[in-house]
Amino acid sequence: MKADPTAQRRLLELAGLDAELARAQYRRRTLPEATAVEEAETTVQGHRDAVVRARTSVSDLGREVAKLEQEVTQVRTREDRDRGLMDSGSVSAKQMTDLSHELDTLARRRGVLEDEQLEVMERHDAAETDLAHEQAELDRAETALADAVERRDGVLGDLDVLEERRGAERTEVAKDLPADLVGLYDQLRARSGTGAGELVGGRCGACRLEMDRSELRDVAAAAPDDVVRCEQCGAIVVRTEKSK
- State the nearest-atom distance from the C-beta of 193 to Zn ion, in Å: 11
- State the nearest-atom distance from the C-beta of 178 to Zn ion, in Å: 22
Instruction: Select 62 or 193, whichever has its Cβ closest to Zn ion.
Output: 193
- State the nearest-atom distance from the C-beta of 38 to Zn ion, in Å: 38
- State the nearest-atom distance from the C-beta of 152 to Zn ion, in Å: 37
Report the b/e string of 80-106 with b at 16+ CB within 10 A: eebeeeeeeeeeeeeeeeebeeeeeeb
Distance CA 149, CA 25 (A): 19
Instruction: Select 40 or 197, whichever has its Cβ closest to Zn ion.
Output: 197
- State the nearest-atom distance from the C-beta of 192 to Zn ion, in Å: 8
Answer yes or no: are the C-beta atoms of 111 and 76 closer than 8 Å: no
Distance CA 234, CA 194 (A): 9
Instruction: Select 174 or 235, whichever has its Cβ closest to Zn ion.
Output: 235
- State the nearest-atom distance from the C-beta of 209 to Zn ion, in Å: 6
Instruction: Select 106 or 207, whichever has its Cβ closest to Zn ion.
Output: 207
Three-state secondary-structure class, residue 196: strand
Distance CA 108, CA 91 (A): 24
Distance CA 169, CA 151 (A): 27
Q: List residues near Zn ion by CB under 5 A.
A: 204, 206-207, 230, 232-233, 235
Radius of gyration (C-alpha) of the chain in whole angstroms: 42
Distance CA 74, CA 72 (A): 5
Phi first, then psi: give them for residue 207, nearest 5 degrees: -105, -5
Instruction: Select 40 or 206, whichever has its Cβ closest to Zn ion.
Output: 206
Instruction: Select 11 or 99, whichever has its Cβ closest to Zn ion.
Output: 11
In the chain, which residue ranges form alpha helices assigned H by DSSP? 5-29, 32-88, 93-176, 179-192, 213-221
Instruction: Select 74 or 232, whichever has its Cβ closest to Zn ion.
Output: 232
CA 93 to chain centre: 79
- State the nearest-atom distance from the C-beta of 163 to Zn ion, in Å: 26
